[in-house]
Amino acid sequence: MSQPIPTAAEPVASRYTVRVATRTSRIFTVIALALVVLLVFAPAFASRPMLQDLILVFLLASLALCWNLMAGYAGLISVGQQAFVGLGGYALFALIIVGGFDPLLSIPFAALIVALLSIPVGSLVFRMQGAYFAVVTWVVAEVFRLLLAQWRELGGGTGTSLPRSATGDMFGLEFISELFGVRSAAAREIIIYWAALFTTVLVVGGCYYLLRSRVGLALRAIKDGEVAAQSVGVSTTRIKFGIYVFAAFCAGLVGAIYFLQTSRISPDAAFSLLDWTAYIIFIVVIGGLATIEGPIIGAILFVLLRNALSGFGPWYLIVLGVLGIAVMLLAPKGIWGNFSQFTGIHLFPTRRHLDIAPAKEQNK
């Protein structure tokens, strides 16, 4: 007997379903939600160094996820994300010191300012493509570094610290201080911890939602063949631009939160290529490019490595460099990419599967 052919009585659509989730991913969603709840309550039981490490993991993972979204999915290789991290930090300091706003409430506004700035910056760097795009983003970051070194009110080239009055008086500080029974400095860190956690959840959720939506399909099409994608009506530039602005917004959030925690900013720290781009690329490459799990794993691994090896100075970076190059050449899928290929496990599945239901018996 030949394959049953769907007839008019049995519409095609009813037999085919597109499925993205897997059983593992459904179970993992529950675990992930439980993990987020656990992390929210972590300040109640975790030590301060632990919280500080977690803040760093959250911020680096957020940046790595955004870089991954650009490089791994949209084909935008930027080596200039430090521009937006630095701008986020400087926007926050300007809002607090010049504007006199509350530090916590300044964070989202700083990120918004960065997102707005990223629109003209984007229209400039989008004039170049591929490898040129990469280097031009770097030049732009240098321009911002040199420009902000001229801002005398924020300390010029040597940078500045947040005034005590600003750091000691933050929205919610007193409440947290009483709730956990801790001093003001620790309470401040708890608030910053939550802000960092919120940023990561936002970025993970944002990336996952984006990749499962029509945009995700479009990105996949762009990756497989940009010209072909354009020919079937995917407006590739608009999607790439949107992702660029989203990544800038997130980098702005990260910069604002990070420099609120350190309470000190300087052009060299804010626009550091090493901290905000080289480390991030390492994290993504080691963890696994073009996956959501990879950058998160990479960020955790990076902070562990940093804690273990930070005493070795330049040797630590030499090890990172060698490791990065070796992974790129020998195992370009990274830790998660290889694991997932080997086991077939996807915690954040974005690939669509077509399920074909067996045809009903033909009664005749």
Chain residues binding other proteins by CB under 8 A are 71, 77, 79, 124, 127-128, 130-132, 134-136, 138-140, 142-143, 146-147, 149-150, 157, 273-274, 278, 281, 285, 289, 313-315, 317-318, 320-322, 324-325, 328-329, 332
Query: Residue 189 CB, nearest distance to other proteins (Å)?
Result: 31
SS3 249: helix
Please identify, using beta-carbon distances, which residue of 96 and 281 lies nearer to other proteins: 281
Please identify, using beta-carbon distances, which residue of 112 and 273 lies nearer to other proteins: 273
CA distance 349 to 287: 16
DSSP 170-199: -TTHHHHHHHHT--HHHHHHHHHHHHHHHH
Beta bridge partners of 17: 355
Query: Residue 155 CB, nearest distance to other proteins (Å)?
Result: 14
Query: Residue 345 CB, nearest distance to other proteins (Å)?
Result: 25
Please identify, using beta-carbon distances, which residue of 33 and 119 lies nearer to other proteins: 119
CA distance 42 to 66: 25
Please identify, using beta-carbon distances, which residue of 85 and 191 lies nearer to other proteins: 85
CA distance 108 to 110: 5
Beta bridge partners of 353: 19
Residue 17 per-residue DSSP state:
E
Q: Which amino acid is located at 362 in the chain?
A: Q
Residue 362 per-residue DSSP state:
P
Query: Residue 106 CB, nearest distance to other proteins (Å)?
Result: 27
Query: Residue 225 CB, nearest distance to other proteins (Å)?
Result: 11
What number of residues does the chain have? 364
**Which residues are CB-neighbours of 193 under 8 A, at least 6 positions away?**
42, 43, 51, 54, 55, 58
Query: Residue 329 CB, nearest distance to other proteins (Å)?
Result: 6
CA distance 167 to 178: 17
Query: Residue 66 CB, nearest distance to other proteins (Å)?
Result: 16
Q: Which amino acid is located at 147 in the chain?
A: L
Task: Count other Cβ atoms within 10 Å, centred on residue 289.
Answer: 23
Query: Residue 38 CB, nearest distance to other proteins (Å)?
Result: 35
Please identify, using beta-carbon distances, which residue of 157 and 242 lies nearer to other proteins: 157
Quickly tell me which residue has 């954040």 as its tokens. 348
CA distance 267 to 179: 36
